Amino acid sequence: MEDNVVLNVKDVPEVKRYEARVEGESEIAGIAQYIRTHELIAFVHTEVSPEYEGRGVGAALVRAGLDEARDAGLLVLPTCPFFAGWIARHPEYQDLVYQSHSRASD
């Protein structure tokens, strides 16, 4: 696979995941599974096919998921370590992260 490929990332709500495909190819290059409510989306697992690792597929999945969450007014719970790490390195997305407000401190 060439380094300058075009990725298409699409939300597939029927299976609760984002799918990344290389333009012109039918196989899935990577997925990001989620659980969604009316207020929150929890990204629980990200997986990239070995032949596509290191080509930006994971980052494309994260960026698409977070951009769509922002557009929908959803907070994000990044339980997937890949999502959490990516967000930690991109401060422009940290405002989306759900923060628990425990009543124990009241």
The length of the chain, given as a count of residues: 106
| Beta strand spans in 37-82 (E) | 40-48, 75-78
pLDDT tens digit sequence for 55-69: 999 999 999 999 999
pLDDT tens digit sequence for 63-100: 999 999 999 999 999 999 999 999 999 999 999 999 87
Q: Model pTM?
A: 0.89
Q: Look at residue 89 and tell me if it is in a domain.
A: yes
Residues 48-84 as b or e (16 or more Cβ within 10 Å = b): beeebeebbbbbbbbebbbeebeeeebbbbbebebbe
The DSSP secondary-structure symbol of 93 reads G
Domain containing residue 66: CATH number: 3.40.630.30
Domain, as residue range, for 16: 7-97
Q: How many CB atoms lie within 10 A of CB 91?
A: 8
Q: Look at residue 26 and tell me if it is in a domain.
A: yes
Q: How far is residue 23's CA from residue 103's CA, in Å, rounded to a whole number?
A: 48
Residue 50 tokens, joined: 């070995």
Q: How many domains does the chain contain in total?
A: 1
Q: Look at residue 106 and tell me if it is in a domain.
A: no
Q: Look at residue 2 and tell me if it is in a domain.
A: no
Q: How far is residue 106's CA from residue 103's CA, in Å, rounded to a whole number?
A: 5
Question: In the predicted model, is pLDDT for residue 13 greater than 70?
Answer: yes
Q: Look at residue 66 and tell me if it is in a domain.
A: yes
